[in-house]
Each structure stands twice: as C-alpha cells, then as structure tokens.
C-alpha cells in the first residue's frame, strides 16, 4: 500500500481492496483492474490506497479505515472464495465505519449485480470496466449528488434496486490505459522460474470471439482493446527497473499475428525473454511466420485454448475451431523451439464419455507430432453469465441462490448433465495433470508454484495415472476421491497463502 503522491491529505481518500483468492498456487498477479482505476482516480485528484490482501495483512487496511476520512471502500471480486472474504471484510468495515459506502466491482458483481447488491454488506455495485464509474462515483459521493447520474451502477434505494445505464468503455487504449504501479510494492509479484525473474502482465482486454462458456462475451460483448508497445514502454517502466528478466503475457486473446510481432519486438528491445501463457487460438496463431517471429524475439512458449478433441463438443461450445487446426498447430510448430501448452476442458453439458476420450486421444497425437507440448485440463464449472451456464441450469443444475453460496462455489461431485456421473471426467482431468506435472512446470507459471501437498500427491499418484491413461480406464477413481478428502481437509486447516508450505 502507498498513498499516491502529490496530493494533500485534505483530499478525500478512496480505498481499493483485492481480497484473498485462496488458490492452490502461490504466484501473485498484479491487481491490474485496481491499478488502472487508481490511476484514473488520481488523475481526478483523489487520494487512493490499494490493499492486495493476497500480499498484505488486513490489519493495516482496517487500521487505515478506522483513522481516515474515506469516500468509499471498493472491493474487486470474482466468483468463488473472494466473495466470502469480501463479505467478511465488508462486515467488519460496516461495524467499524457504518458511514463508509461499500462498493463491489469485478467479474462477479458485473455478472450478478442485483443478487450482489441485495446483500446487507454491499451498498453499490459497479458493472463492467470501472475506470470512469469509479471517478464519477467519487465525485457524486463527495458532492452529495444522487447516484442516478453515474453510469455503470446498481444500488439500493429503499426496497428498490436502481440500475443506471452502462458506462462508456475506454475509447482510446493508448491514451487512456494507465496503471498506478507506484501504488504497490512490486517485488512480491516477481517470481523465479528456471533461473529468471518473471512477472505476469496483461496487454489487452476482452476478446472478439464468442465461446459459449467464456465471461468475455458477457463482460465486453466481443469488444477487444489491445494497447501498443508505446503504452507498455510508458506504463511498465517500474517493472523493467525491477530486475525483471522475463514477461509472461496472460491476455484472454493476445491479438493478431502482426500485434504479437510488435509486442515481441518491443520485449526483445528491452533485453527481456517472454512467453504467452494464455490467449492463443489455433485458427489465428498457427503460421510458420508466427512461430519464426516468436523464436526471433525470445518467446519460449505459447498457450492455446484447444478445449476438446471432439468436433461435436467444439461446435457445441462455439469455439469456432476444428480438430484439424489443433493438429496443424502442433505440426507447423515442429521445426521451431517454441513450446505450447494446450488448454483442455472436459465435462461440459452434452459431452459424452466418448467425446472426452477423443480429447485423450488427441492429446496423445499432439505429443507424438510435437514433443514440445504440454497439456492442462480443467473440469468445466458452470461459472455464471454465459450460454453454457444457462445450458447447465436447463439440464437441471441448481446454482447457488445467494452471494454466500457463490462464495463457496467449487466443483461438485455430481452434475445432473453427466448421465453416468462426474467422477469419470474428473478422473481424466486428474490423470492428465499428474502425468503432465513435470512438463507443466516449464510451461505454466501456476503449476511451477503449486503448493507442497499437491506436489507430493502428484508424485505418489503418478504410476496409477499413467496406467489409467494408457488403458483409458477412468471410472471408479478411488485414489482421486481420497485425494479430494485430503484436499478438503488441508484447505480448512491451511486456509491462507502465508501459512501454506
Ligand atoms: C490474472 C487472473 C487470475 C490470477 C489471479 C488474479 C490476480 N490478480 O491475482 C489467478 C491465475 C490466480 C486466477 C485464478 C482464478 N481465476 Co482468474 N483471471 C485472471 C485474469 C486473466 C486477469 C484479471 C485481471 O487483472 N483483469 C484485468 C482487469 C483490468 O480487469 P478486472 O480485474 O475485471 O477489473 C476491471 C473491472 O472488473 C472493474 N472492477 C474490478 N474491480 C473493481 C472494483 C471497484 C470498486 C470498481 C468500481 C470497479 C472494479 O474495473 C476494472 C477496470 O476496468 C482474468 C481474466 C481477465 N482478462 O480479466 C481471470 C478471471 C478473473 N479468473 C477467473 C476465474 C474463474 C478464475 C479461477 C476460479 C479459475 C479456476 N478454475 O481455478 C481461479 C480462482 C481461484 C479461486 N480460488 O477462486 C474468471 C472469473 C469469472 C467469474 N465469474 O468471476 C476470469 C474472468 C477469467 C475467465 N476465464 O472467466 N485468475
Ligand atoms: S477465444 Fe478465449 S477469451 Fe475469446 S471468447 Fe473464446 S475462450 Fe473466451
């Protein structure tokens, strides 16, 4: 946390909070959303303090809130345990400072604004991109103006829930995109991988594609904003002067081949290595020219959203790619030293066991074509706000009914749309992870920093995972069921990032 410079303490203060994520990994990602909002608030002459509670202790936050004159406290929240944490903190702040409005923004409040704002510890929800809304809200609260005039809000007025029109998105990324990187201590976000000091960056927002399971469609409506190397030169200087040696690009969609080239050339000119850890598509990022550019600019690996080896499932989820294109990406890449992590998803509503086995076969085929490949796989979870979520509900799945419920949302052992049970798909996912663990360590920052209990479990279960994969026997995964019980126990006794390992 730091008080942004150059303002007198007479100016009102906005406090922005990034609650703990409670993930199974101990890599931290800069809270880019809050850093961007902070920069815009500062432009408008407000003081801002950011507390990332994945890094900092909450005592300091609570102390600042008790002692300062505060316009509002803003929480950034996505679906899952962050909600639980944000509710717990909101309750404490409401008790200590009932005069301070509690504002929630981020993916979950944007997707479910009414359900969020109806909670007693939430006063205002900010929908969508928050830069302009955060500033206009600060002005309205400071001037004691009605909130109806502030676009992008949902708030309570008595028993009524008021929804203002959507806020304008940022129009000119190159002019408007800025991050108040001096508002936080950068060092905790730098981590070592294969001897290099790495940091995760985002270089764009949104995505022009239409996959039916993805939040981007709902949040950005196929709008895609990428900023130029000039913005990175201007904004990312504090990272570059921090001894960082490698940038890990974590965009939803990394952009056209021409853009990737410009990005790579800028990174190389800074004397850095890089990798694309998310956001490639086999229909866009597949040409020889693409891989050559990556090699020439010091990029070590890329990550593709491949999702399924079944064309039927790819069509069902509107991925707009073909199995042949997935294969081609591995073939064309073969002469180059570029690794690729293929990201798969299993257990979607409508996916049969035969579809899932098609994914298993395709993974093996890609490995034969190009050994510089790794594979990560997720069990599909019905995250709200998209078409596939609606399909899951229509197939009989009951989503949580309140905000507390969404705060404990994680995978369930049985979804009604898996006719013969969910464990089959989960078993494929686990077997894949355990088999791939060593490769993923090289091509996924998050696997490299998996917490110790999970690393030990992956070693113990390796022989069984290999047998399951070879024989295609994924039913009755007793070892994974037992591991889940242990995982549940560990997450209760080791709840925070600090006390793990
Ligand atoms: C980096 C990242 C992570 C990092 C951690 C994030 C961090 N900073 O430490 C890691 C890898 C750990 C992670 C984990 C997970 N993630 Co994640 N992650 C992201 C990612 C790629 C970037 C986040 C980001 O910085 N965005 C950029 C900023 C600009 O956007 P933003 O944060 O949303 O902020 C803007 C607005 O939302 C708004 N806003 C936000 N907060 C506030 C607050 C106030 C007061 C106001 C006014 C406005 C406002 O204004 C901001 C600026 O415009 C996003 C996708 C994306 N591109 O956004 C997914 C995303 C947030 N993750 C998502 C998910 C689902 C997960 C996982 C659950 C995945 C999984 N299956 O395990 C886990 C969570 C684990 C857990 N225990 O819950 C989903 C969330 C969907 C949802 N319904 O909430 C997203 C959207 C991606 C997706 N594929 O759908 N994630
Ligand atoms: S390509 Fe990726 S980011 Fe874009 S809509 Fe599909 S899943 Fe989402």
Please provide residue 175's backbone torsions phi and psi, each rounded to the nearest 5 degrees: -90, -35
C-alpha span between 480 and 20 (Å, rounded): 27
C-alpha span between 326 and 404 (Å, rounded): 40
C-alpha span between 495 and 500 (Å, rounded): 8
Ligand 2: which of 210, 253, 316 to mutate, judged by most atoms within 8 Å of the beta carbon? 253
Q: How do strand 153-157 and strand 102-105 relate by DSSP bridges? A: unpaired
Which CATH code for domain 190-446?
3.20.20.70
Burial class (CB in 10 A: 0-12, 13-18, 19+), 270: middle
Q: How do strand 204-206 and strand 224-226 relate by DSSP bridges? A: antiparallel
* Residue 241 near residue 169 (C-beta atoms within 8 A): no
**Which residue's entry shows tokens 């991988």?**
193
Helix (H) or strand (E) holding 149: none
> 214: Cβ below 6 Å to ligand 2?
yes
Rounded to the nearest 10°, the torsion over CA 418, 365, 429, 376 is: -130
Residues in the chain: 501
* Residue 46 near residue 138 (C-beta atoms within 8 A): yes
* Nearest-5° Cα angle at 218, 378 to 385: 60
Out of 1.10.10.10, 3.40.50.280, 3.40.50.9100, 3.40.50.880, which CATH number does the structure's domain 4-163 have?
3.40.50.280
Q: Mean pLDDT for each consecutive 10-residue tract of the chain (501 residues)?
A: 49 95 82 98 97 96 95 97 97 97 98 98 97 98 97 96 94 91 96 92 97 94 94 92 94 98 97 97 98 98 98 98 98 98 98 98 98 98 97 97 96 94 97 94 81 84 97 96 86 52 28
> 209: Cβ below 6 Å to ligand 2?
yes
What residue's CA is closest to ligand 1, atom 42? 105
* Residue 333 near residue 291 (C-beta atoms within 8 A): yes
Name residues whose C-beta falls within 8 Å of residue 198's C-beta, 6 or more positions apart in sequence: 190, 191, 192, 244, 245, 246, 247, 248, 445
Identify the residues whose C-beta falls under 6 Å from ligand 1: 21-23, 28-29, 31-33, 36-37, 54, 74, 76, 78-81, 103, 105-108, 111, 126, 129-131, 133-134, 202, 215, 250, 252, 378, 383-384, 446
What secondary structure letter does DSSP report for 228? -
* Helices 452-460, 478-493: inter-axial angle, 10-degree rounding: 170
The residues spanned by each domain of the chain are 4-163, 190-446
The pTM assigned to this predicted structure is: 0.95
Ligand 2: which of 216, 221, 255, 389 to mutate, judged by most atoms within 8 Å of the beta carbon? 216
In Å, how far from its chain's centre is CA 379? 16
Other beta carbons within 10 angstroms of residue 189's beta carbon come to 23
Which ligand is the nearest neighbour of the Cα of 253? 2
**Residue 494's pLDDT is what?**
63
- In the numeric block, which tokens belong to residue 368? 């034969």
C-alpha span between 497 and 82 (Å, rounded): 13
Dihedral over Cα of 463, 355, 351, 308: its sign:
positive
**Residue 500's pLDDT is what?**
35
> Over the Cα atoms of the chain, what is R_g?
23
Rounded to the nearest 10°, the torsion over CA 162, 114, 35, 216 is: -120
**Residue 9's pLDDT is what?**
55
Helix %, strand %, coil % for the chain, to 5? 45, 15, 40
C-alpha span between 177 and 389 (Å, rounded): 32
Q: How do strand 196-201 and strand 191-193 relate by DSSP bridges? A: antiparallel
Other beta carbons within 10 angstroms of residue 265's beta carbon come to 13
């Amino acid at each position: 946390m730091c008080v942004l410079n150059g303002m007198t303490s007479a100016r009102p203060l906005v406090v922005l909070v990034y609650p703990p994520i409670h993930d199974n990994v101990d890599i931290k990602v800069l809270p880019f959303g809050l850093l961007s909002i902070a920069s815009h608030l500062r432009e408008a002459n407000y003081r801002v303090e950011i507390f990332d509670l994945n890094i900092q202790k909450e005592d300091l936050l609570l102390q600042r809130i008790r002692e300062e004159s505060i316009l509002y406290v803003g929480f950034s929240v996505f679906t899952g345990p962050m909600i639980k944490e944000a509710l717990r903190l909101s309750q404490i702040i409401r008790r200590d400072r009932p005069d301070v409005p509690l504002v929630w923004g981020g993916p979950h409040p944007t997707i479910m604004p009414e359900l969020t704002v109806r909670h007693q510890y939430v006063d205002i929800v900010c929908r969508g991109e928050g830069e302009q809304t955060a500033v206009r809200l600060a002005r309205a609260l400071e001037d004691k103006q009605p909130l109806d005039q502030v676009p992008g809000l949902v708030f309570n007025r008595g028993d009524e829930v008021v929804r203002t029109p959507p806020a304008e998105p940022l129009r000119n990324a190159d002019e408007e995109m800025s991050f108040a990187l001096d508002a936080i201590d950068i060092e905790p976000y730098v981590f070592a991988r294969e001897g290099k000091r790495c940091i995760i960056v985002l270089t764009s927002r949104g995505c022009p594609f239409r996959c039916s399971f993805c939040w981007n469609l709902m949040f950005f409506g196929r709008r895609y904003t990428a900023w130029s190397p000039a913005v990175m030169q201007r904004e990312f200087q504090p990272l570059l002067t921090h001894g960082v040696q490698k940038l890990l690009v974590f965009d939803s969609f990394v952009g056209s081949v021409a853009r990737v080239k410009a990005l790579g050339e800028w990174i190389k000119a800074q004397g850095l290595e890089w990798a694309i850890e998310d956001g490639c598509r086999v229909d866009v990022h597949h040409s020889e020219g693409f891989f050559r550019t990556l090699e020439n600019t010091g990029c070590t690996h890329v990550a593709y959203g491949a999702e399924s080896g079944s064309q039927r499932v790819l069509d069902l989820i509107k991925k707009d790619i073909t199995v042949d294109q997935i294969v081609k990406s591995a073939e064309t890449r073969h002469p180059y030293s570029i690794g690729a992590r293929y990201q798969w998803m299993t257990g979607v509503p409508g996916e049969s066991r035969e579809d899932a086995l098609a994914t298993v076969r395709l993974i093996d085929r890609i490995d034969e074509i190009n050994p510089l490949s790794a594979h990560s796989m997720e069990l599909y979870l019905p995250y709200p706000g998209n078409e596939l979520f609606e399909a899951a509900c229509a197939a009989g799945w009951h989503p949580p009914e309140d905000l507390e419920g969404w705060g404990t949302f994680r995978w369930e052992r049985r979804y009604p749309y898996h006719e013969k049970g969910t464990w089959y798909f989960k078993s494929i996912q686990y077997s894949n992870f355990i088999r791939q663990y060593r490769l993923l360590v090289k091509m996924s920052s998050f696997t490299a920093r998996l917490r110790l209990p999970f690393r030990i479990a992956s070693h113990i279960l390796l022989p069984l995972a290999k047998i399951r994969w070879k024989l295609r026997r994924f039913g009755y995964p007793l070892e994974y069921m037992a591991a889940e019980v242990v995982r549940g126990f560990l997450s209760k006794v080791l709840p925070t990032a600090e006390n793990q390992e």
